[in-house]
């Protein structure tokens, strides 16, 4: 389905020319091939079989998570404000951002709400009812956030960097932007796989409106909510952002009283996770040896790699090691495949994984009110003929 806003892309865009940001007309986006939970705002995830076709997720199969309709932004008028605890506050056009050194990085983006729907077995959770497709691995083109901060001359007592989107979200009777924030130590990483980017490109094409055109942050290793789309403002501060999506949402709480929010910190890193993608749910299977495929994402901690992916067809009595495929790259998922034997009594298939920083998927994750960070053993019910 091509959205009205994707068609509006033709009304202005940026091209990635030699890796630099230039203000120009964009090429039309390829239509999305996703299952939509909502439109306007767009919230959609790919079919799991599509998700594991390639290590790099094509943009048409890349999930979309938006809290408000896509803002329509004129690239010629666009200005990124950089302010707060800096000696040289600035307002930067796309052209002036294009003078910074270009960077490209490959990183997996995953929503903290990925696999949320699984919590409902224990108690209803609100929000977009994600299955396990709110994840994707892309190459991102742009510039290093650290370079922009260095030019702004961050003051020594700065501790956090806030990001603010240009979207307009209805909340509590008012309109607020989507906001994120990250610790200054992460923000100042200027090179390598962990460096946060101000990205204008995804998979070597200009960002589409769904993914934050013309500019977004991309924070490798952190939950998707810290990669703020339609970025309009950066604020350097001595505290985390007071924006709703840092101060209240995206925290692990069992209840949603003020004390619960106050006692719980913002989520930054994502934990290890894995899912079975084929066979897809509801597939009727014949007894015998079958092929399983899926993805595994190691914890978003620097230097962490996948150690083991284990699958079971007998409720965890025996585990078979899966083979990982694709590049073993920091802050990136890997795809995996395995063969298991199933019989008429097989009720479900399961996957769990371990990583090099001690990350493991638990049998059960304690229920939390917002349904975040579901990374328990992934259990796929099956019907065997």
- C-alpha–C-alpha distance, residues 37 and 129, integer Å: 7
Structure tokens at 4: 């009205």
Residue of 201, 224, 298, 371 that binds ligand MTE (CB under 6 A): 224
Query: Smallest distance from the beta carbon of 215 to ligand MTE, in angstroms?
Result: 11
Subset of 42-71 contacting ligand MTE (CB under 6 A): 62-67
Can residue 370 be called a binding residue for ligand MTE (CB under 6 A)?
A: no
Query: Smallest distance from the beta carbon of 178 to ligand MTE, in angstroms?
Result: 3
- By C-beta, is 137 or 299 nearer to ligand MTE? 137
Query: Smallest distance from the beta carbon of 41 to ligand MTE, in angstroms?
Result: 7
Query: Smallest distance from the beta carbon of 226 to ligand MTE, in angstroms?
Result: 8
Binding mask of the shown chain, residues 114 to 153, with x at each position contacting ligand MTE by CB under 6 A: ----------------------------------------
- By C-beta, is 16 or 322 nearer to ligand MTE? 16
Can residue 372 be called a binding residue for ligand MTE (CB under 6 A)?
A: no
Residue of 105, 227, 243, 374 that binds ligand MTE (CB under 6 A): 227
Can residue 176 be called a binding residue for ligand MTE (CB under 6 A)?
A: no
Can residue 178 be called a binding residue for ligand MTE (CB under 6 A)?
A: yes
- C-alpha–C-alpha distance, residues 98 and 100, integer Å: 5
CA 62 to chain centre: 10
Can residue 222 be called a binding residue for ligand MTE (CB under 6 A)?
A: no
- By C-beta, is 232 or 279 nearer to ligand MTE? 232
Which segment (2-10, 223-231, 273-281, 324-332) binds ligand MTE by CB under 6 A?
A: 223-231
Query: Smallest distance from the beta carbon of 126 to ligand MTE, in angstroms?
Result: 14
Binding mask of the shown chain, residues 153 to 172, with x at each position contacting ligand MTE by CB under 6 A: ------------x-x-----
SS3 for the chain, per residue? CCCHHHHHHHHCEEEEECCEEEEECCCCCCCCCCEEEECCCCEEECCHHHHCCCCCCCHHHCCEECCCCCCCCCCCCCCEEEEECECCCEEECHHHHCCCCEEEEEEEEECCCCCHHHHHHCCCCCCCCCCCCCEEEEEEEEEEHHHHHHHHCECCCCCEEEEEECCCEEECCEEECCEEEEEHHHHCCCCCCCCCEEEEEECCEECCHHHCCCCEEECCCECHHHCCCCEEEEEEECCCCCCHHHHCCCCCCCCCCHHHHHHCCCCCECCCEEEEEECCCCCEECCEEEEEEEEEECCCCCCCCEEEEEEECCCCCCCEECEEECCCCCCCCEEEEEEEEECCCCCEEEEEEEECCCCECCCCCCCCCCCCCCCCCEEEECEEC
Query: Smallest distance from the beta carbon of 39 to ligand MTE, in angstroms?
Result: 13
Subset of 267-326 contacting ligand MTE (CB under 6 A): none
Structure tokens at 230: 């339609």
Can residue 230 be called a binding residue for ligand MTE (CB under 6 A)?
A: yes
Residue of 225, 234, 338, 354 that binds ligand MTE (CB under 6 A): 225
Can residue 209 be called a binding residue for ligand MTE (CB under 6 A)?
A: no
Question: Given the rule CB under 6 A, which residues bind ligand MTE?
Answer: 62-67, 109, 111, 165, 167, 178, 211, 224-225, 227-230
């Amino acid at each position: 389905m091509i959205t009205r806003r994707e068609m509006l892309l033709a009304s202005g865009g940026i091209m990635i020319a030699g890796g630099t940001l230039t203000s120009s007309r964009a090429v039309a986006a390829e239509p999305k091939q996703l299952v939509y939970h909502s439109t306007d705002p767009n919230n959609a995830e790919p079919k799991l079989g599509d998700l594991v076709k390639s290590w790099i997720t094509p943009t048409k199969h890349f999930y979309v998570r938006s809290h408000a309709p896509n803002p329509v932004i004129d690239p010629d008028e666009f200005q990124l404000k950089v302010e707060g605890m800096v000696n040289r506050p600035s307002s930067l056009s796309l052209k002036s951002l294009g003078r910074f050194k270009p960077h490209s990085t490959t990183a997996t983006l995953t929503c903290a709400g990925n696999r949320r729907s699984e919590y409902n077995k224990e108690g209803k959770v609100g929000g977009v009812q994600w299955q396990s497709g709110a994840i994707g691995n892309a190459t991102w083109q742009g510039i290093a956030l650290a370079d922009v901060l260095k030019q702004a001359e961050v003051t020594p007592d700065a501790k956090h960097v806030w990001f603010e989107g240009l979207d307009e979200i209805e909340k509590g009777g008012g309109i607020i932007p989507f906001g994120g924030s990250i610790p200054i130590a992460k923000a100042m990483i200027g090179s390598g796989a962990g460096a946060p980017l101000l990205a204008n490109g995804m998979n070597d094409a200009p960002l589409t409106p769904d993914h934050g055109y013309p500019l977004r942050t991309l924070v490798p290793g952190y939950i998707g909510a810290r990669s703020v789309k339609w970025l309009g403002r950066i604020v350097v501060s001595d505290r985390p952002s007071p924006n709703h999506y840092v101060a209240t949402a995206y925290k692990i709480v069992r209840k949603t009283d003020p004390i619960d929010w106050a006692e719980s910190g913002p989520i930054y890193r994502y934990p290890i996770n894995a899912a079975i993608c084929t066979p897809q749910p509801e597939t009727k299977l014949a007894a015998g040896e079958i092929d399983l495929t899926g993805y595994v994402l190691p914890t978003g901690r620097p230097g962490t790699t996948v150690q083991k992916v284990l699958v079971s067809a007998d409720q965890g009595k025996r585990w078979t090691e899966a083979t990982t495929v694709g590049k073993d790259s920091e802050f990136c998922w890997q795809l995996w495949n395995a063969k298991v034997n199933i019989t008429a009594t097989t009720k479900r298939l399961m996957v769990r994984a371990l990583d090099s920083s001690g990350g493991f998927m638990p049998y059960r994750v304690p229920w939390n009110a917002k349904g975040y960070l579901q990374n328990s053993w992934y259990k796929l019910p099956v019907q065997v003929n």
